Structure 1
Amino acid sequence: MQSGTHAMHQLALGLRVYEVMPHPMAPSIHNEDFASTVQSVQSSRFDGPSCKIGINGFGRIGRNVLRASLTRSDLEVVAINHTCNSIKDLIYLIRYDGTMGRMDPHKEIVAVSESLITIGGQPIRLISERDPRLINWRELGADYVVESTGKFTKRDLALQHVTHGQAKRVIISAPSSDSPTYVYGVNSDAYRPDDSNQVISCASCTTNCVTPVLKVLNQQFGLEQGFLTTIHAATQSQQVLDGYSKKNPRLGRTVFDNIIPTTTGAAKAIATVLPELQGKVTGISVRVPTPDVSLIDLTINTAQPTSLAEILATFRRAAKTDLAGVLSVSDEQLVSSDYKGECCSAVIDAAACNELNPQFFKIIAWYDNEWGYSNRLLDLAVLVHSQEQA
């Protein structure tokens, strides 16, 4: 066992600490024998082939992707590229989260070495490399990379995970200006495993919320026009105290005491995902001082006369069929904190929706902009994997 202050810190985090002696089997991303050993352990966890994922970037989305993966049996995270100073710091971030709560205590985290942990018995390789050209994802056992640094949103940058890292595909956890965009349940059925889709984008959390709603409305009633306002929880891109923002002067103001109007990329992304709505929907974002859970306020003009009751009935049918697990409807009088940990991309708030006349409606839908979005990233990864296996 380790001794001294370092071991005391490890024990304070509730870790098991094992002595790792210098040995050819010691964890190193350059040791092929060790890599194959880890892979054989992972492969035995499921009866069938699983989707093996590497996470590049361990911020809010990266950590939520890891947590969400631990609730599923159709995939596994096998490697994480992080920027923490030590494994102790990394495990602290995994275990504790003021927004999402503490890690499931039944998922024991074991620190095997500085480059290997297990969570609930599942081995996860750890690396800390800022240059994606120096990461060998295949050696780490990852077929697909969730690119969640926020820095490599351009195709040529994200493609380095394929050309240098030997991953099969990359899914960017942000909008991308030059990569194909797929929203699970909306246009994901158009995905094909060809070279043009080596790097794809999962769009934004807001796009993942609003496009299923718009798709249902347009297919059933036709949409003449619409305006979106997303009441959006604070993000790490905002300022703790007043400062400077290159993007927007208002975003330089403190997140704590302000309601901040700004733009939303979802306004443009809607037409990318649903081309039939080109020029019909636009919108803005209003940032509010809450840590998680957002809401879309969608005002629409339908082509066909209908009623709010029929619109809600249509949403309920979709939630049980094509969009099961992506969209749902709530009749309860809930508030934002009640939707923390919500897996669906959009939850229609039936009581908050409204009708002015047979062609003019307001639709309200909630979304956990971290957890729901992270689950869609994983759904998209599984879909990509299934296409590879077909």
Structure 2
Amino acid sequence: MSVRVGLMGFGRIGRNVFRAVYGREDIEIVAINEIADIHAMEYLLRFDSLRGRFEQPIRILDDALYAGGKQIQVLHHREPGEIPWYEHGVDVVVEATGKYRARHELQKHLDQGADRVILSTPPTDDIDHLHIRGVTADVIDRSNRIISCGSSTANATALMVKVLDDAFGIEEGSFTSVHAYTADQSLTDVPSPGDLRRSRAAMQNIVPQTTWTDEAIEQLFPHLAGRFKGMKLNVPVPGVSCTDLTVQMKKPVEASVINEVFRSAADSVHAPYLAFTDQPIVSSDISDHPASCVFDSLATLVTDGVLLKVLGWYEQGGGISHRIVELVAQLGPKSPVGGERKNS
């Protein structure tokens, strides 16, 4: 029995999830909720400036999209509580609007018939579970019904921290995410409420921003609470970002040893969400890469034996979309908490 998925939002993450699900027999997208016009949805799925063309046949008729021999109902509600997921037999809702949601908002998806909700952004308050593949436990308790996959930056950064902390131990650290520009930035200088820097033109500036990822690291690695901070720099580059991570190690290390540990981890315990490269890559080489983090071994630096700098690349919205799909498959088609699935 396949898992029936409802997509809330059909922007960058939603379309990436659609592409990752297409052709799978264990997951079926049965409904998409998106306020945009259905013709615009089909067009942006078919022609993607970053991913290229979606070559599989897709058509629209009335309020439905047809792909892979299936009808996918398209809805146009604005808020979670307005969407009747029970009418479509939805098991898992992927909340992919890019909005930062609180628990009481996400609960409305469950009230409308979904068994689980997966959030593609950081939560704004306490939810049931933060799930980072390779960092948190693989087994998810059935009582966890509202789950966040964090962010692309959190997935990449946490993976590198996990490998280093397990192998050598970390005393403290900081990071800078050199981050691709985002959809909520403007191409020209326009006022941005509450954030003057964000009011500047995305394609003409390096824009310093705050990040939630350091909070996630402190949550995932309690011994680093108060000892790990970070920021991001939004730069005029599309699609691909990198984490520049600096940590003080508990014991002396060498660059060659660090690289071999990451190579081994990428080939075994952290495959396929961690990848390794010893090639002189640049950002465009990571486009469409499914890993959460591509460790760049040529960038590893060690100072005085204990001060370490490493670099990890990731596609913004790419790797995390694959992690969402993997989580959907893991959760399965029904939950004892939510009861039997209601088929339309």
**What is the TM-score normalised by the length of structure 2?**
0.92
In structure 1, what is the equivalent of residue 249 of structure 2? 302
Contact 1:182/1:273, CA 8 A, preserved across alignment: no
| 2:134 alignment counterpart | 185
CA displacement at 1:355 relative to structure 2:
1.6
Residues 343 and 247 (structure 1 numbering): CA distance in 2 closer, same or farther, change over 3 Å? Answer: farther
State the Cα distance separating 1:151 from its structure 2 match: 3.5
Residue 160 of structure 2: SS of its match in structure 1? helix
Specify whether residues 327 and 121 from structure 1 end up closer, same or farther in structure 2 by C-alpha distance, changes over 3 A only: same
Equivalent of 1:81 in 30, 33, 45: 33
Residue 131 to residue 230, structure 1, CA distance change in 2 (3 Å):
closer
Q: Larger % of helix: which?
A: 1
Q: Distance in 2 between matches of 1:266 and 1:222?
A: 20
2:3 corresponds to = 51
* 2:176 maps to which of 229, 254, 269: 229
Residue range with higher mean Cα deviation, 242-251 or 339-348: 242-251
2:31 aligned partner, one-letter code: A
Report the counterpart of residue 257 of structure 1 in structure 2.
Answer: 204
Per mean C-alpha deviation after superposition, the further-off stretch among 266-275 and 169-178 is 266-275
Name the CA distance, whole Å, in 2 between partners of 1:270 and 1:221: 17
C-alpha offsets along residues 52-107 of structure 1, whole Å, 9 cap, x if unaligned? 2110011111111111211544322221001122x32221121111122111x2x1
Aligned CA RMSD, in angstroms, stands at: 1.8
Q: Distance in 1 between matches of 2:27 and 2:267?
A: 24
Corresponding residue number in structure 2 for 1:90: 41
Mapped to 2, the partners of 1:170 and 1:362 lie a distance apart of: 36
Question: Alpha-carbon deviation of 1:259?
Answer: 0.7
Whether 1:135 aligns to 2:83 is yes
In the TM superposition, what are the counterparts of 1:53-72 in structure 2 within 5 Å?
A: 53-70=5-22, 72=24
Summarize the Cα distance change of 1:213–1:386 in structure 2 as closer, same or farther, 3 Å threshold.
Answer: farther
Q: 2:258 aligns with which of 301, 311, 318?
A: 311
Contact 1:145 1:161 in 2 (8 A): yes
Residue type of the alignment partner of 1:265: W
Deviation digits for residues 263-297 of structure 1 (CA, Å, limit 9, x no counterpart): 11111111122323222221110110111100010
Which residue does the alignment assign to 2:315? 368
Query: Cα offset for 1:190?
Result: 5.3
Instruction: Please state whether the residue corresponding to 1:123 is helix, strand or coil.
Output: strand
Q: What one-letter code is carried by the residue in structure 2 that aligns with 1:110? A: R
Secondary structure of the corresponding residue to residue 209 of structure 1 = helix
Quote the Cα distance in structure 2 between the aligned partners of 1:274 and 1:51. Answer: 32
How far apart, in 1, do the equivalents of 2:90 and 2:304 lie?
53
User: CA 1:214–1:55 in 2, change beyond 3 Å: closer, same or farther?
Assistant: same
Conservation of the 8 A alpha-carbon contact between 1:174 and 1:202: yes
- Find runs of 4+ consecutive structure 1 residues off by over 6 angstroms: none
**Structure 1 runs not aligned, ≥5 long:** 1-48
Q: Which residue of 1 aligns with 2:340?
A: none
CA contact (8 A) 2:163 2:262 kept: yes
Partners of 1:286 and 1:79 lie apart in 2 by 36
Give how far 1:230 is off: 0.4
TM-score (norm 1): 0.82
Instruction: Verify the 8 A CA contact 1:264 1:284 in the aligned structure 2.
Output: yes
- Partner-residue secondary structure (3-state), 2:312: strand
Q: In the comparison of the two structures, how many residue pairs are matched? A: 335
- What residue number does 1:203 align with? 150
Pick 1 or 2: higher relative contact order, CA cutoff 8 A, min separation 6.
2
> Which one has a bigger Cα radius of gyration?
1
**CA deviation map 1:22-41 (0-9, x unaligned):** xxxxxxxxxxxxxxxxxxxx
1:210-261, Cα deviation, whole Å (9 max, x unpaired): 0011011001100011110000000012112111222421111000110111
2:107 to 151, 159, 173: 159
Q: Using the alignment, how far apart are the partners of 1:95 and 1:272 within structure 2?
A: 39
Q: How does 1:248-287 map to 2 (within 5 A)?
A: 248-287=195-234
Amino acid at match of 2:109: H
Q: 1:272 and 1:386, CA in 2 relative to 1: closer, same or farther beyond 3 A?
A: farther
Equivalent residue letter for 1:366: W
Could you say which residue in structure 2 is the equivalent of 1:17?
A: none
SS in 2 for 1:216: helix
State the partner residue of 1:15.
Answer: none
The one-letter code sitting in structure 1 at the alignment partner of 2:213 is A
**When you count strand as a share of all residues, which structure comes out higher?**
2
The 5 Å alignment of 1:372-387 reads: 372-385=319-332
Matched with 1:16 is none
Q: 1:191 to 1:97 in 2, by over 3 A?
A: same
